[in-house]
Structure 1
Amino acid sequence: MLLTNENVWLGPVHDEEFEKMSNWYLHESLVRRLDAKPYRFQTVQELKSWWHGTDAYSQRFGIRLKQGNELIGFVELDGILWNHRNAWVSIAIGEKAHWGKGYGREAMEACLRYAFLELNLNRLQLTVFSYNEPAVRLYAALGFTREGVYREFIERNGKKHDMILFGLLRSEWKDQYDDSI
């Protein structure tokens, strides 16, 4: 199945779950991995507007545990350029108790399958701050190629950090995951 993996599946976020999602933005460490903008909370209404504001250029999914159906994060394909068949991808595991358990990798694998097999995209790209070492390792393990660096792009706690650009082509993904297609 496209949107499922061993422990997680990608699905909807229900209106009553935006309160939970808003609580994820209380974790400074999570927010500072997601965005270069100054840290700030996200209200339930702001999150609902963003989530329901999907258009022809974006797809968003909640990341849910198969066991218990708990919402633990989200994955997004954004800025889809249909005529060029490429998009940006981003992911967040919001529930800190679920960090480091491989759920992000499983969710990304499902998202990549969906992007390449269902949406027929040819290229996915993302950026990540150099201090987010677990994410850098994850993207490399998923087959993304480091394509460039925005040197000293961000300053956090008085230190400058790079922002790394990664890209993955459908042909590269297919070579790596051909057995599962």
Structure 2
Amino acid sequence: MMKREPRRIRPIRREDVPGMHVWELDEEIAMASGITKPRSLEVFQTMYEKYFLKVNHSLQLYSIILDGRVIGRAELGLIDRENGHAAFGIVIGERTSWGNGYGKEAILELLGVAFEELHLHKVYCEVYTFNERSLNMMKSLRFRQDGILRDHEFFHDAYHDLAVFSMMDTEFRADL
């Protein structure tokens, strides 16, 4: 029998939220995520509580797990079942876990959910062009860069470009 690797992602739980709030307070993580002003823990928890109450049916949140602890967060958002697509996002909040491939593993699992469970046709994301690590990861996962949204978001006193990447279900299955 083949040994199966443990899953890297699982649905987010309420007890995961306070630890994730700490990442929002990290300046480098906030910059890469486009967070201009960190929210208080109370506001942060209220936002997640709405998710747990299933107010938004176009969002699925996951915790990224390593050795039983939460090291990051991943999401499928703007899920459009009629047109068969969703956006995704990811953050590895535990700095000691950066550069070890855990984000890549989590994205592959997230793509499995999107294409095999939700039966979506396309998954896409936007990456700040100054975020070299994320740009390199998208390319290494064979996402196609669809274009650049020039001066698309204003924060930290400047406009920033966003690179748009996508992957189709057929491209994901071809790589399996």
Q: Deviations over 1:102-150 (max 9, x none)?
A: 1000000100011101110000111000111010011111121110101
- Checking the alignment, whether the CA contact within 8 Å between 1:18 and 1:44 is kept in structure 2 is no
Mapping of residues 31-70 of structure 1, within 5 Å: 31-35=30-34, 37-50=35-48, 51-52=51-52, 54=54, 55-65=56-66, 67=67, 69-70=68-69
Q: Is the 8 A contact 1:22 1:44 kept in 2?
A: no
Give 3-state SS (helix, strand or coil) of 2:172's partner: helix
CA distance in 2 between counterparts of 1:59 and 1:158 reads 31
Q: Does 1:106 align with 2:109?
A: no
Opposite residue 59 of structure 2, the aligned amino acid is S
Q: Over aligned residue pairs, what C-alpha RMSD do you find?
A: 2.1
* Paired residue type of 2:36: P
Runs of at least 5 residues in structure 1 that lack an aligned partner in the other structure? none
8 Å Cα contact 1:125/1:168 also seen in 2: yes
TM-score of the two chains, using structure 2 as the length reference? 0.86
> What is the TM-score normalised by the length of structure 1?
0.84
Secondary structure, counterpart of 1:143 in structure 2: coil
Structure 2 distance, partners of 1:140, 1:47, is 34
- Kindly tell me the number of residue pairs found equivalent between the two proteins: 170
**Inter-partner Cα distance in structure 1 for 2:25 and 2:172:** 35
Q: Deviation digits for residues 39-81 of structure 1, max 9, x if unmatched? A: 324525424533425432111111011x2x1001111000011
C-alpha spacing 1:133/1:53, structure 2 compared with 1 (3 Å): farther
Contact (CA 8 Å) 1:61, 1:75: kept in 2 or not? Answer: yes
Conservation of the 8 A alpha-carbon contact between 1:72 and 1:95? yes
* 1:172 CA drift (Å): 1.2
Distance 1:24 1:144, change over 3 A: same
Rounded to whole Å, the distance in 2 between the matches of 1:120 and 1:172 is 14
Query: Which aligned pairs between 1:52-131 and structure 2 lie closer than 5 A?
Result: 52=52, 54=54, 55-65=56-66, 67=67, 69-131=68-130
Task: Give, in whole Å, the separation in 2 of the partners of 1:115 and 1:170.
Answer: 9
Distance 1:48 1:7, change over 3 A: farther
